[in-house]
Amino acid sequence: METTNTFDPRRFVTRVGGADYLEVKWRVYWLRTVHPDAVITTELISHENSVAVFKAHVSIPGGGSSTGWGSEGYDDFRDYLEKAETKALGRALAALGFGTQFTPDFDFAEGQEKVVDAPVRLARQRQLVDFAQERQGQAAERQSMTDRQKSFIRQMAREKGFAEEEINTQVTELFGKRFEQLDRRDASAYIERLKSVEPLAKAS
């Protein structure tokens, strides 16, 4: 990978699960900063039983290329199609060296927490994604949040410095219900909100 001083990934790193993490959107920005002519393609490989599998390919003209795979299901995220696509793209970029040291994508240690980025929008997939989401229906959206969502929210809240009661206060203000009453759609929305919240400063 070409060396450049125009992008410092450490400026964009966040803390997830006690480790530094570089979100996929910043890996894409890094790629475009260094190689504006790089080619990114994604493909929906399968979509069955509300589980999507994407393949992403990234190539640098005159340089390297890599392929990444990503899968997500509706049980965990309403926008699972976009998230599966973003996961595949993130793994392809990490394989090329963009954010490899700031991602658990290739860490398969037991108990490794799953990290799912907010979707990186790729226009060529937008129509497909919208059509698939419309077909899911409203009933599934109102099912209770999954244990994985619940665990992920609590872990992220701890990283941000929030106590359990503060989670309940935020959730009540945002959704008019307590944390344990969140459905899958609301839990997914709250996860996205937590990702954008700055950690609370620790008292000295």
3-state secondary structure of 54: strand
* Strand (E) or helix (H) holding 172: helix 164-175
3-state secondary structure of 68: strand
Spans of all domains in the chain: 9-134, 140-195
Tell whether the model's pLDDT for residue 36 goes beyond 80.
yes
The pLDDT tens digits of the residues spanning 50-93 come to 889 999 999 998 878 999 998 888 887 778 888 889 999 989 99
Output the pLDDT for position 15: 79
Listed residue (72, 75, 52, 70) closest to 150, CA to CA? 75
The pLDDT tens digits of the residues spanning 148-204 come to 888 888 888 888 888 888 888 888 888 888 888 888 888 888 888 887 777 765 544
d(CA 165, CA 171): 10
CATH number of the structural domain 9-134:
3.30.390
